[in-house]
Amino acid sequence: MGKPTGFIEYLRELPADRAPLERVRDWDEFHLHLAEDKLRAQGARCMDCGVPFCHTGTLISGMASGCPINNLIPEWNDLIYRGLWREALDRLHKTNNFPEFTGRVCPAPCEGSCVLGINAPPVTIKNIECSIIDRGWDEGWVKPEPPEKRTGKTVAVIGSGPAGLCAAAQLNKAGHSVTVFERADRPGGLLMYGIPNMKLDKTGVVLRRIKLLEDEGVKFVCNAEVGKNIAAEKILADFDAVVLATGATKPRDLPIEGRQLGGIHFAMEFLTANTKAILDNHKNGDFITAAGKDVVIIGGGDTGTDCVGTSMRHGCRSLVQVEILPKPPLDRANDNPWPEWPKTYKMDYGQEEAAAKFGDDPRVYVTTATKFEGDDKGHVKAVHTVQVEWSRNDKGQFVPRNIPGTERVIPAQLVLLAMGFLGPEQPLLDALNVERDARSNVKADYGKYRTSIAKVFAAGDCRRGQSLVVWAFNEGREAARECDRWLMGATDLP
C-alpha cells in the first residue's frame, strides 16, 4: 500500500464521458480516460485491505460480490500509484485474458464490494483496469505469445463469445490445437453482436484481440453452425475434446394480444442487425431502424439500455422504457447491505442520452404491457400498459398485480422486447444428446464443467443461465483447466 492516507486525501473521480447530445450522432465509444496523474491518485485510494472483498468473486443473495475472475485489484492499484504500468499489466493478465472487454462492459461488482464503499465512494477499479490495458496496447506491450510446444491434442470450442474466447485462449496456452466454431459471420459472439459499438468498439477492440488469438494459433471458423451445417457427430469424431460455450440466446417472449403485429422485435434482432449494418458500411440497409419512430422498449436491464442508446442514434421521435420492477432507492436499502451488489438508482448511458434530448429518464417503473394495438396494415401503433403492485401470493412468492385505473396507451411504431433470456437454444444440444437441467441449461457441475458426454465440457451462460460477461470469463477459464486436466491427466492452468 503505497499511500496509506490516499483514501482520505483523494475523492473518487471518473473521466467525463462525451456529451450525450454529441455522442448520439455517431457510433464511436463514448468513455474517455483520465490523465495519468489523476489515475495514480485514484490508485492511491485503494487501501490494500486485509480482507479485500473486491476480488473474492462470490454470490451473495444471488448477486455477484467481488470479481468472479479474482483480479489482483489491490496489487495493480498500487502499481498504478507507483507509475509501474507494465508491471500492472502483467498482474492484470494473470487473471484476465481480455481486460479491454471487462474494462468497458462489466458492471464492476468489484466496486460494489470495495471496503471503502462502506462509508465512501468506492475505488474506480473498472476505469483503472481499462486504462491499464489500453496503455498496454498503445505501448506495444500486448503481443502474441504462442505456446512453445504443442501437445498433439485437438479441442473444438463451439461459440466465440466471452466464455468460448477465454476457453480457447487458455487451452491454446496449454499447447492444444484449438478450433473455434462460430455460427455468425464474424467471431466474438455477444461481444461482437450483442453489445453496441459505442460501448465496445468492434474493429479497434474486439477484432484486434481476435487477431492476436489467431497469431497465437487459435483457428476461427465462422458461418459454422454445429448441428446444422456441420454435423455434431463430425465434431465429436474429429476432436479430442469439445467445449460448449453457446450462450443463453433464447429470448423471453411477451405473449399478449397483438404480439403477431409487425414492428415488434426481440432486442437481439435489433442490436445484431444494427451492428452488422455498421460493420458492413450499410451496404444492404437490412436492419431495423428506429428513425422517426415512437419507440417502446420493454425491459430495464443492460440490453434494454443498449436498445435505448441505439434508438437514440437512429434518431427516434420519442422513447419509453417499460420496467416492471420498482424504481430503486438512491442509497442502499437496509436489506441490501455491503458487500452485496448495491441495488440503487442510476442513469446509464442510454437513459442519459434520452434525458438530454427528451427532458427526463425514459423509464416508467412498476409498469407492464397488456396489449399491442395495430393499424389497418397489421403493424403495431400503440402499447397498452398498466401499473402493478408487488405482493405475496398464497405460496409466499412476490408477484405483480395490475392496479385498476392506471391504464395508459403509448404510441409506438417500434417495440423492442428486452426481458432477458430463458436459456440456450436446444437444436445443438439435441443433436449432441447432452443432458440438461430443469432450466434447459447444459447439465455440468460448476468447477468441473463435465457434461453427460465424457469428452464434452460446458461453460458460460449455456451452463449457468444468463449472467455477466465476467462470469463467462470465469467459467471459460475454469472449463479450460478441467478440459486440460482430462486430456493430459494434470494441468498447470489456473
Q: How many CB atoms lie within 10 A of CB 298?
A: 24
Q: What is the mean pLDDT of residues 31-40?
A: 94
What's the CATH number of domain 154-249+422-488, 1.10.565.10, 3.30.930.10, 3.50.50.60, 2.60.120.620?
A: 3.50.50.60
**And the C-alpha cell for 443?**
447439465
pLDDT(282) > 80: no
| Ranges of CATH 1.10.1060.10 domains, the chain | 6-139
Alpha helix segments (H runs only) across 345-422: 349-358
If you average pLDDT over every residue of the chain, what do you get? 96
Mean pLDDT, residues 107-125 taken together: 94
- 3-state DSSP assignment of residue 389: strand
Bond before 339 cis per omega within 30 degrees: yes
- As a whole number of angstroms, the distance between CA 360 and CA 353 comes to 9
205 class by beta-carbon count within 10 Å (0-12 exposed, 13-18 middle, 19+ buried) = buried
Secondary structure class of 398 (helix, strand, coil): strand
Give me the residue label for grid cell 409466499: 396
Which residues, in sequence order, are bridge partners of residue 179? 156, 219
**pLDDT tens digits, one per residue of 78-93:** 999 999 999 999 999 9
Q: Helix (H, G, I), strand (E, B), or coil: what is residue 1?
A: coil
- What does each C-alpha distance from 399 to 248, 343, 389, 404 come to in angstroms? 25, 19, 8, 16
Q: How many CA atoms lie within 13 A of 65 on its CB side?
A: 19
CATH topology of domain 6-139: Fumarate Reductase Iron-sulfur Protein; Chain B, domain 2 (1.10.1060)
Contact 465, 441 (CB under 8 A): yes
Q: What phi and psi values does residue 164 have, to the nearest 5 degrees?
A: -65, -40
pLDDT in tens, 257-280: 999 999 999 999 999 999 999 999
C-alpha 151/C-alpha 371 separation (Å) is 58
Across the range 357-384, mean pLDDT stands at 98
* C-alpha to C-alpha distance for 397 and 313, rounded to whole angstroms: 40
What are the residues facing 65 on neighbouring strands?
58
pLDDT, tens only, 227-259: 999 999 999 999 999 999 999 999 999 999 999
51 has a pLDDT exceeding 90:
no
Delimit the CATH 3.50.50.60 region(s) of the chain. Answer: 154-249+422-488, 253-419
Element at 159 (helix H, strand E): none
- Which positions ≥6 away from 251 have C-beta within 8 Å? 266, 267, 268, 417, 419, 420, 421, 422
Grid cell, residue 191, equals: 461481444
Architecture of domain 253-419: 3-Layer(bba) Sandwich (3.50)
**pLDDT attached to residue 284:** 66
CA distances (Å), 360 to each of 306, 320, 336, 354, in order? 17, 10, 27, 7
**Statement: residue 2 has pLDDT above 90:** no
The residue whose grid cell reads 462502506 is: 118
Q: Is the pLDDT of residue 283 over 80?
A: no
Distance separating alpha carbons of residues 438 and 4, to the nearest angstrom: 50
**φ, ψ of residue 160 in degrees (nearest 5):** -115, 30
Residue 361 has pLDDT above 90, yes or no: yes
Tell me the longest C-alpha to C-alpha distance in the chain.
71
Alpha helices in 315-460 (DSSP H): 349-358, 427-432
pLDDT over 90 for what percent of the chain? 93
Rounded Cα gap, residues 294 and 354, in angstroms: 13
pLDDT mean over 298-322: 97
**Sign of the Cα pseudo-torsion (384, 386, 391, 394, in order):** negative
Helices (H), 201-327: 207-215, 232-238, 267-279, 302-314
pLDDT value for 459? 98
pTM of the model: 0.95
Residue for grid cell 392506471: 406
Q: How far is 129 from 133, CA to CA, in rounded Å?
A: 7
- DSSP code, position 47: -
Place of cell 459454422: 224
The 8-class DSSP code of residue 438 comes to T
